[in-house]
């Protein structure tokens, strides 16, 4: 039995060896396949679409999202502001308008006032004695007051009458100068108030706007700057408008006061000349 099994095993091995020797080897392609042949391969094993290919990091999209544009329109900031902040901004806008109105009015007023004083001074320098001066200015009214006092004096002038006439004329000249300066000072009180109070009114709007921003943070339960920044920008805009109103008001107030000082100096020169001529007129009365 053992001999029969060994003989059968040898017979099978010999048959397998003869089969391998008779079979031809696999053919090798000497040319690259054409591109059109790829279609068959892709049909057999289709590729995944590019949209479904995962990112190497596995978490980020292929293209990053562009940041949104920042809204810097001041009118939109004002419209989105809290009503209290809007009221503060409106009040400060009226203050700016008032400052500009006073500025334009003072330019015209001082131009006319100095022109009238120059004409009266020129007429006073070209004449002798007490005369009427042209125009409606403080120097012209002072010259008219001096003529009235001279015409009211008696021919027999005494020292007491001369002293009383001098005092009366000085009082009238003081009133004329004070009235002229008071008219030129009109509007300076408003400028002083705007210059002093304007920044604090803007600061009130800023404080209220920042408080509103903090309330928005508490309501949204986030500290993201996108929630905080708009309210803070609106609040700071109120302070900016307050400074825009206050700084020109202070500068214009100082300019007006300097011009009033120059105007009073011009009046003082004309007043001294009129008093000197009045004194000479009374000397002639007492000597004659």
CA torsion sign for 114, 118, 119, 121 is positive
Of 150, 177, 172, 173, the residue nearest 265 (C-alpha): 177
pLDDT at 38: 43
Count of residues making up the chain: 288
User: In this predicted model, what pLDDT tens digit does every residue of 233-254 receive, in sequence order?
Assistant: 878 888 899 999 999 999 999 9
State the distance between the two ends of the chain, measured CA to CA, in whole angstroms: 188
pLDDT at 49: 42
Where does the pLDDT of residue 57 fall: very low under 50, low under 70, confident under 90, or very high at 90 and above?
very low
Q: Say how far apart CA 161 and CA 158 lie, in whole Å.
A: 5
pLDDT at 163: 87
Residue 55 has pLDDT above 70, yes or no: no
Residue 17 has pLDDT above 70, yes or no: no
Contacts of 245 (CB under 8 A, 6+ apart): 92, 95, 96, 99, 194, 198, 202
Q: Say how far apart CA 266 and CA 280 lie, in whole Å.
A: 22
User: In this predicted model, what pLDDT tens digit does every residue of 72-118 receive, in sequence order?
Assistant: 566 777 777 778 888 888 999 999 999 999 999 999 999 999 999 99
Q: Model's pTM, two decimal places?
A: 0.67
Q: Domain segments of the chain: what residues?
A: 84-127+135-287
The tokens describing 13, both together, are 């091995």
CB 144 within 8 A of CB 169: no
Provide mean pLDDT across the span 31-59.
43
User: In this predicted model, what pLDDT tens digit does every residue of 62-77 receive, in sequence order?
Assistant: 333 344 444 556 677 7
- The larger pLDDT score, comparing residue 265 to residue 136, is at 265
Where does the pLDDT of residue 127 fall: very low under 50, low under 70, confident under 90, or very high at 90 and above?
confident
- Residue that has been written with the tokens 């705007």 in this structure: 194
pLDDT at 4: 54
Where does the pLDDT of residue 51 fall: very low under 50, low under 70, confident under 90, or very high at 90 and above?
very low
- Residue that has been written with the tokens 């008093």 in this structure: 275
- The larger pLDDT score, comparing residue 119 to residue 46, is at 119
Residue 30 has pLDDT above 80, yes or no: no
Residue 225 has pLDDT above 80, yes or no: no
Where does the pLDDT of residue 261 fall: very low under 50, low under 70, confident under 90, or very high at 90 and above?
very high
DSSP one-letter string for the chain:
-HHHHHHHHHHHHHHHHHHHHHSPPPP---SPPPGGGHHHHHHHSPPPPGGGPPPSSSSS-SSPPPPPPP---HHHHHHHS-HHHHHHHHHHHHHHHHHHHHHHHHHHHHHHHHHHHHHHHHHHHTS-SS-PPSSSSHHHHHHHHHHHHHHHS-SS--HHHHHHHHHHHHHHHHHHHHHHHHHHTTTHHHHHHHHHHHHHHHHHHHHHHHHHHHHHHHHHT---HHHHHHHHHHHHHHHHHHHHHHHHHHHHHHHHHHHHHHHHHHHHHHHHHHHHHHHHHHHHHHH-
């Amino acid at each position: 039995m053992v001999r029969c099994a060994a003989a059968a095993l040898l017979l099978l091995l010999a048959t397998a060896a003869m089969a391998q020797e008779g079979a031809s080897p696999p053919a090798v392609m000497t040319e690259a396949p054409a591109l059109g042949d790829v279609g068959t391969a892709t049909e057999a094993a289709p590729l995944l679409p590019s949209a479904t290919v995962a990112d190497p990091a596995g978490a980020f999209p292929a293209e990053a999202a562009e940041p949104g544009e920042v809204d810097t329109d001041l009118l939109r900031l004002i419209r989105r502001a809290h009503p209290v902040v809007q009221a503060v901004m409106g009040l400060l806008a009226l203050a700016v308008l008032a400052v500009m109105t006073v500025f334009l009015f003072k330019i015209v007023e001082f131009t006319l006032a100095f022109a009238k004083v120059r004409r009266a001074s020129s007429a006073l320098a070209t004449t002798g004695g007490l005369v009427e001066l042209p125009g409606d200015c403080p120097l012209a009214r002072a010259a008219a007051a001096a003529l009235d006092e001279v015409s009211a004096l008696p021919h027999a002038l005494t020292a007491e009458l001369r002293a009383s006439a001098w005092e009366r004329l000085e009082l009238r000249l003081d009133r004329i100068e004070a009235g002229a300066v008071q008219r030129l000072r009109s509007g300076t009180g408003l400028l002083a108030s705007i210059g002093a109070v304007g920044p604090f009114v803007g600061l009130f709007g800023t404080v209220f706007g920042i408080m509103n921003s903090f309330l928005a943070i508490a309501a949204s339960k986030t500290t993201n700057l996108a929630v905080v920044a708009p309210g803070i920008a609106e609040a700071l805009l109120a302070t900016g408008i307050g400074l825009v109103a206050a700084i020109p008001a202070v500068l214009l107030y100082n300019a007006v006061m300097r011009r009033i000082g120059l105007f009073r100096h011009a009046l003082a020169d004309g007043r001294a000349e009129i008093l000197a001529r009045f004194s000479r007129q009374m000397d002639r009365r007492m000597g004659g």
